[in-house]
Chain A
Amino acid sequence: MTTLAKTSAVRSLATQTSIRRKAMSYLARSWPLYVMVLPGLVLLLIFNYYPMYGIRIAFQDYNPALGFDQSPWVGLKHFEYMLKLPTFRLLFRNTLMLAIGKILFLQVTAIVLAFMLNEIRMRVFKRVFNQILYLPHFLSWVIVAGILLDLLSANGLVGRFLGGLGLNSFMFLGNAAFFPWTVIFSHVWKEAGWSTIIYLAALTAIDPQISEAAAVDGANRLQRIWYINLPGIAPTIALIACLSLGGILDAGFEQIFNLYNPTVYATGDILDTYVYRAGLISARFSLATAIGLIKSTLGFVLITLAYWLAAKYANYRVF
């Protein structure tokens, strides 16, 4: 027993020294890299990890005047309250529906657009169309929402047109059944161009010789798209689909906040807008943090899952 222990101790000592030596030589070689990483790491710690200390207010009745230390601990009170909220299920459902709808419609539109752009032969046209399609991405939602509100108002362009048909244009923003579609389509309009970039890149990676060969064999454009281009970018599509999972609880605060109103809370109110109203407007920091914490936890799980799926099906790895 004792000898065994002794030998293993000796061995481990030996391995330790060898490990230490290796580590030293490794460090001697690569310390500049670590120094270069250091500032980023410090910033990450300060701005991403240190604030997590504040998560504790989800478990307190936080009063800014009393601070983190003095505010009374209340355990899971806010989580219980949140789960008991009749609107919580609704919020969750709205968030999921809107996010999934957005991802689905956006990616499909982007893929179709990418194919169309890819088929344009004249470089000038291609460039111009590209730029025009990218443009809305750079507008902030405040501006886009302002334009939409005006377009759809009773005296706006669309409003006048629909008014002539005896319709009320307010339904797009004020009718609970239509509102999600307004949200989804305005999102698609704004982001579709930008989302084509990655597909276009994937398309250029396909060897043009395959296409040319197919053309010689008599395949028309649609057939070439269907049998060559689509399978060619399939891994990219799978990758994007997997990674989108991570953002499935982000239904776009900025957009909805600027477009919604009480009439459409039933289908348009999402977790983020509720957190804003409860947390910042009504100063219930603890509840807002609790909801945010739940959302982040779920988001973390989903991202891990997405990464795993991406690694499995699209062979995509960061590390």
Chain B
Amino acid sequence: MKEPRITRRDFIRASVLAAAGATLTACAGQPTPAPTQPPAATAKPAATAVPTAVPTAVPTARPTATAVPTAKPAPLTAEQLMVKAGLPLPGLPDQGWKYTFPDLPPGMPMDPPLRITTNRIVGSDVVFAQGDDIDNNPFTRMAKALFGIEWKHKWTAGNWDDYTTKWNLAVAAKDLPDTAIYIGGDLLVNGLKAGLFADITDAYENYASKKWVKDVFARYGDLPWAYARVKGRLMGWPYVEQAAQNDKVMWIRKDWLDKLGLAVPKTLGELYEVATAFRKNDLGKGAKGTTLGIAFQQELVSWYGSADPIIGSIAGTLPNFWTKNDKGQLENGIINPRMKDALIFLAKWYKEGLLPADFATRPTGEAQKLVAGNLCGIHFTPHWDAGWGCGESKQNDPSAEWEAHEIPAGPAGKKKMWSNPFGASIFPLRAGLGQAYADAYVKQCSWLVEFFEDPEKLPGGSYQIKGVTFDIVDGAFKPIPNVHFPKWVPGPILGSGNGGVDPERAYRHMLKTRSWKEVPEDKRNPYQKFVLNDPAGNQERYQKAFLLNVSVSEQQGIKNLFNAPPTQGMVDFGAELNSMWAQTWTGIVTGQKPASAFDEFVVNWKKMGGDQITKEVNDWWQSR
């Protein structure tokens, strides 16, 4: 017979059990010590049935599990779960700065937690608090505590090109993350063709909030699902930006106007006169004679220093925007005859030095430097520039008074790009994952929407954690620079692009913030004081521009009526046609080509695939 020997392992096991038992009895202040764990520890070292892992779990997990009587397990609220997981609550609840967590979705938090892998673009704007990283930060901890979802990043990319390449590699290697961000264009077309994405229709029907998701989407008709819905089934969650996010206002230097005794230009003719006056009087801060008429860069329709209000007001349409022509058919604005007038207009500006001489080599973002460096007094940029280009301009030159105004009118009236908040990309789930993943995903999205889009629940529209995103210094709110909660969130809600469901969410939050002015000064909480304390005037400037932009968006916006994944013709000829267009318009504006080059371009555009694309787009329009 084998002699019962006490091995080293038995000894360790016994001592761990003993230690655990001791901790348990020490911790159990209440008279109900865990009944399932009798003093087993000391006596039976050979009780091999007790796995070694159990003892470590005993002290923390067991008491709570058994403390709640089996009768009616009242589910914990989100707030209680946060506290239980040891996570800080947002705001300063004791100083009247409270957040209201919505009710948790059914079946959450999941136990055991569900691990969902994803990918991200992590640019320089994604900054973590000390000790945190992309898989472990206030959001991922919150997701685990509230939803029982463990987020794990399979890979990250530094920029879009990088992201596209990595995605294509992952697709080719058949090693996709469970969910992905921003799948649009060719990636979307190819992915759908190959059946890469899961059908989330059932999860959406069952778990998306009626009030906060379904009803909101319903208000916008076909637009929200233009890309995600295929044959009536939802193949992903749409990406939704904010209303008027990329609509332009005319930013103009009020102090320069006053200095020269000029009025705010109302028409393109007046705009030309004002721009010329600014340049002639050399009001800019740069070297002598470098003042420009307007900020401009290498793209006609872009997000900074854009020409779309000028082109739109002259031509009534925009390049690569599909609008209805006289015959009721969709036509690309690129070949509209009035586009030639717009180019001639710009060519004149260029010749007279109102546009930067080297604009064609300047990437879009660099136009901001013209504004911040006080080289120009006019630019067409969205309202959010109040605190960026215009804000920096004021820092560099305290006399700078930027004001947002309506764009000037041209032959076609006041027309500019209408930014479609429903982006051309989707957030898909990998096919073959199983219903549990789709359910969990939709539940998280829906809950986040309800929390983050309701001004009553989320004061000021921003999620602030003490010691992470802000500090209190001398009783005053002080933000920790560059650390932003939304940027840590994977998925279509929040995230680095601040996605959501309702395009009007930012507007609503802004109105709420404006209403705080009515709160008496001594009643304001630290955050309200911070927001309303606006010495540089950036906040006020921003809000005014935002209000203006939203109020004219519908009436002045040119809508692109083609909202669908690219057609075959676009895939085949798009690159070619666009480079031809870029050559033509920069050539005409810089005076290297005569204006008649435009007519030649129109002929070539049609011949080289444009006609086919037009037909495809109209077929789509009919079959819609």
Contacts and interface: CB of A to CB of B under 8 A. Distances in A.
A280 B608 contact: no
A170 interface: yes
B396 to A, nearest CB: 15
Interface string B359-388: 011100000000000000000000000000
B196 A262 contact: no
B196 A65 contact: yes
A143 interface: no
A226 to B, nearest CB: 44
Given A63-B193, A65-B193, A176-B592, A170 B579 contact: no
Contacts of B107: none
Contact of A281 (B172, B360, B575): B575
Contacts of A282: 186, 571, 574-575
A278 interface: yes
B602 to A, nearest CB: 15
B287 A283 contact: no
Contacts of B156: none
A63 B25 CA distance: 63
B577 to A, nearest CB: 11
Contacts of A269: 579
B367 to A, nearest CB: 13
In the complex, which of the residues A155, A163, A175 has the most CB atoms of chain B within 10 Å of its own CB atom?
Answer: A155
Contacts of B590: 170, 174, 263
Interface stretch (B47-55, B160-168, B490-498): B160-168
A261 B290 contact: no
Interface stretch (A35-43, A124-132, A146-154): A146-154
A152 B579 contact: no
Interface in A254-289: 261-263, 265-266, 269, 277-278, 280-284
Contact of A263 (B161, B191, B574, B587): B587
A248 interface: no
A85 interface: yes
B76 interface: no
Interface string B495-512: 000000000000000000
B358 A263 contact: no
A169 interface: yes
User: Which of B165, B187, B361 has the most chain A CB atoms closer than 10 A to its own CB?
Assistant: B361
Contacts of B362: 153
A284 B571 contact: yes
Given A265-B582, A284-B575, A67 B357 contact: no
Contacts of B193: 63, 65-66
Contacts of B37: none
B579 A154 contact: no
A54 to B, nearest CB: 10
Nearest to B161: A280
Interface in B551-579: 571-572, 574-576, 579
A93 interface: no
A184 interface: no
B356 A154 contact: yes
Contact of A65 (B165, B191, B592): B191
A153 B358 contact: yes
A66 B194 contact: yes
B191 A174 contact: no
Interface in A140-192: 149, 152-155, 159-160, 163, 168-170, 173-176
B171 A154 contact: no
Given A154-B290, A155-B286, A87 B165 contact: no
A68 to B, nearest CB: 8
B495 to A, nearest CB: 23
A155 B196 contact: no
Interface string B187-217: 1001101101000000000000000000000
A154 B358 contact: yes
Interface in B321-358: 356-358
Contacts of B171: 64-65
B165 to A, nearest CB: 7
Contact of B186 (A81, A163, A277, A283): A283
A67 B298 CA distance: 37
Nearest to A86: B608
Contacts of B290: 154-155
A261 B172 contact: no
B399 interface: no
Contacts, number: 102
B586 interface: yes
Contacts of A66: 190, 193-194
B583 interface: yes
Interface residues of B, number: 41
A282 B578 CA distance: 11
A266 B587 CA distance: 10
A269 B580 CA distance: 12
B177 interface: no
Contacts of A63: 190, 193-194
Interface string A104-129: 00000000000000000000000000
B190 to A, nearest CB: 5
Contact of B575 (A64, A149, A160, A278): A278
A160 B576 CA distance: 36
Contacts of A81: 572
Contacts of A154: 290, 356-358
Interface in B570-614: 571-572, 574-576, 579, 582-583, 586-587, 590, 592, 604, 608
Interface in A55-89: 63-67, 70, 81, 85-87
B361 A155 contact: no
Given A263-B587, A282-B574, A152 B358 contact: yes
A174 B358 contact: yes
Nearest to A269: B579
A160 B286 CA distance: 12
B185 interface: yes
B159 to A, nearest CB: 13
Given A86-B608, A174-B590, A265 B583 contact: yes
A63 B190 CA distance: 6
B357 A168 contact: yes
Nearest to A156: B358
A266 B579 CA distance: 10
B186 A85 contact: no
Nearest to B195: A65
Given A65-B191, A261-B360, A283 B582 contact: no
A67 B165 CA distance: 15
Contacts of B356: 154
Best-surrounded residue of A86, A262, A278 (most CB of chain B within 10 A): A262
A178 to B, nearest CB: 11
A80 to B, nearest CB: 12
Contacts of A85: 576
B592 A277 contact: no
Nearest to B574: A282
Given A64-B190, A283-B185, A170 B574 contact: no
B189 to A, nearest CB: 9
Contact of A64 (B168, B576, B586): B168
Interface centre among A159, A283, A284 (most CB of B within 10 A): A283
Contact of A261 (B187, B357, B586): B586
Contacts of A281: 161, 575
Contact of A175 (B164, B579, B592): B592
Nearest to A148: B361
Contacts of B172: 64, 67
B610 to A, nearest CB: 13
Contacts of A159: 357-358
Contacts of B360: 170, 174, 261-263
5 contacts: A174-B360, A174-B590, A262-B583, A263-B590, A284-B572
Please list the 3 inter-chain residue pairs (A to B) with the smallest Cβ-Cβ separation, ordered nearest first. Answer: A65-B194, A262-B582, A283-B186
Given A65-B196, A265-B579, 9 more contacts: A65-B194, A70-B194, A152-B358, A153-B358, A154-B356, A159-B357, A170-B360, A261-B361, A266-B583
